[in-house]
Amino acid sequence: MGELMSGKSEVGAPFTLPDTAGRPRALAEFHGKLVLLYFGYMSCPDACPRDLAQVGGAIRALGPDGERVQPVFVTIDPARDAPEALRAYVAAFHPRFLALRGSEEETRRVARTFKVAFERTPSEPIEHAAFTFLLDGEGRYVAFFPPGTSASRMAEMLRQQLDRGDGASR
């Protein structure tokens, strides 16, 4: 576990979703930075907080190079994840985390391009895939980190991508 997996099939696509202030945010605005993209929800009992903490830890472990990585969280529960609470939630893991909150339909459309499935169940929690996607400086899918990948392993793989020039400074 914790290995970076390469994908051969098409994963991901350019997208625009509103942030917690309602402002449209396009993946393209992070051109030149690596993006760590995560789909989850605030009341997730275990996977989301654990993985978001690892993302934040990985960015901190990179030191100044962490500025070349943009963490993005897309809520899969926009009906319950209120904007201000969502903004505070992601900031607790890293101050530069950006939270996006589209409609259910918008979110499903974007999630499908990343092959992320989620399903509401009669009770908590929402069943969902808990992968952290790594996108290059052009917004293209590079790989994913499985659930539970450590911050140190993420930082190691991010540094390799940065050293290749995949997340050039803006």
Residue 119: pLDDT over 80? no
Residue 5: pLDDT over 50? no
As a whole-number percent, the residues of the chain with pLDDT over 70 amount to 87
117-123 long-range contacts (CB < 8 A, ≥24 apart) are 118/39, 118/76
pLDDT at 59: 97
Residue 1: pLDDT over 60? no
pLDDT at 45: 83
What SS3 class is residue 32? coil
Q: What is the distance between the alpha carbons of residues 122 and 148, in angstroms, rounded to a whole number?
A: 26
Burial 15-31 (b: 16+ CB within 10 A, else e): bebbbbeeeebebeebe
Residue 4: pLDDT over 90? no
In one letter, which amino acid is 31? H
* Residue where the block lists tokens 């985390």: 97
pTM for the model: 0.88
Task: Give yes or no for a contact between 157 and 4, defined as CB atoms under 8 angstroms apart.
Answer: yes
The overall average pLDDT reported for the chain is 88
Q: List the single range of 26-30, 69-73, 87-91, 164-168 with lowest mean pLDDT.
A: 164-168
Query: Domain spanning 16-163: which CATH class is it, in words?
Result: alpha beta
Please report the DSSP string for 52-100 in residue order: HHHHHHHHHHTGGGGGGEEEEEEES-TTTS-HHHHHHHHHTT-TT-EEE
Q: Which residues contact 109 (CB under 8 A, 6 or more apart)?
A: 15
Q: Helix, strand, coil % (nearest 5) of the chain? A: 35, 25, 45
pLDDT tens column, 31-65: 999 999 999 989 888 888 999 999 999 999 999 99
pLDDT tens column, 126-142: 666 788 999 999 999 99
Domain positions in the chain: 16-163
pLDDT at 12: 86
